[in-house]
Each structure stands twice: as C-alpha cells, then as structure tokens.
Amino acid sequence: MRCIDKHGKSFEVKKYRLEDYAALEAMYVTFYPKGKFQGMPPLQDEASRKWINGLLENGENFLAWQDGIIVGHVVVLPDFDKGDAEYLIFVRHPNRGRGIGSELSRAVLQHAKNLGLETIWLIVGATNFRAVGLYRKFGFRFCNSDLSESERKMILNL
C-alpha cells in the first residue's frame, strides 16, 4: 500500500517477506532508543536477532519502507485459542510523528480482523503520550488491570 507521510514523502506498507530480513535487522541495529521500554528492542545484537526471529516466527508482521530502508515495523502475535493478539510497533526515531505508525497500524489491525481475531492488546509506558494517542486513535482503551505505575494495558475489540 503506497502512502504519503505528513512531510509529503512517499512510503510503502507491505507484509513481511523472507527477503526483507536483512533490512529489518538493519533497522533494529540503528534503532534508537534501544531497550527503553520492557527491554525492547534488545540492546545486544545477538539478543536482538533472537527477538526479531521470534516476532517473525510467531507473528503477523508488516513493514514501512521509505527511500529503500525499513522505517517501521508492526506485529501482532496471535493466540488463536483465545482469539486475541499482542500488538507491538516500532518506528525509527527520525520517522515518528509523520503518520507512518498510523498506516502500519491500519494494515495490521485489518489483517488481524481478517484472521478472525476478536481482541488486540498492548502494554504501553504510562508517560508515552504519543503512543497512547496513536492507540486511542484506533479505538484502544485502557483496561482496569494496570500493571504498574509505569505501564498500562490497552485493549481493542475488533
């Protein structure tokens, strides 16, 4: 899906393919800030590769490409027995606030709905107001079971 960011630059959202691995790993090698929230993405390269491989093996992954590089990655990790999935999104620091996260979210949430999932959930830092704004835009709501003062759980019913 071709899109235009808030600065008028073109980018494309696509489902992950095997040939995208090197570019995805490259995004996480230079990702900033690493490990800021729940240790994601991991700080060490080997731990990062294992983490990326886990997301790819267990999830439904979409990538945002701009100027030949991956600038964003979103994944839902489905539990088909429960009918739900965990949602994770990462957008490169220089590309944040441009609508890329919104387009990635739109693609993966539609895909999750097509898979028959009923609920998507995520954990967000309580002071990550930009992320909370994105999630609320798509209908996520805080649930009552707060994890701690620094983390909150949000749920979206599809």
Q: What is the pLDDT of residues 114-155, one digit of tens each?
A: 999 999 999 998 888 989 999 999 999 998 766 677 789 999
For residues 93-110, average pLDDT: 96
Q: Could you tell me the two tokens for 114?
A: 């097509």
What's this model's pTM, rounded to 2 decimal places? 0.92
Give the per-residue pLDDT at 149: 74
For residues 89-111, average pLDDT: 96
Give the per-residue pLDDT at 40: 78
Q: Is 89 exposed, middle or buried (0-12, 13-18, 19+ CB in 10 A)?
A: buried
Cα 117 to Cα 42: distance, rounded to the nearest angstrom:
28
Give the per-residue pLDDT at 144: 74
Q: Could you tell me the two tokens for 73?
A: 């990655």
Q: Is 68 exposed, middle or buried (0-12, 13-18, 19+ CB in 10 A)?
A: exposed
Produce one character per residue of 11-45: b if its CB has 16 or more CB atoms within 10 Å, e if not.
bebeebeeebeeebeebbeebeeeeeeeebbbeee
Closest CA to 120 of 132, 112, 129: 112
Q: Which residues contact 91 (CB under 8 A, 6 or more apart)?
A: 64, 71, 72, 100, 101, 104
Q: What is the pLDDT of residues 11-68, one digit of tens each?
A: 999 999 999 999 999 999 988 876 666 767 888 888 999 999 999 999 999 999 999 9
For residue 19, what is the DSSP state?
Answer: G
- For residue 128, the one-letter residue type is N
Give the per-residue pLDDT at 146: 60
Cα 51 to Cα 57: distance, rounded to the nearest angstrom:
10
CATH assignment of 2-157, among 3.40.630.30, 3.30.1330.20, 3.30.360.10, 1.10.3720.10 = 3.40.630.30
CB 150 within 8 A of CB 126: yes
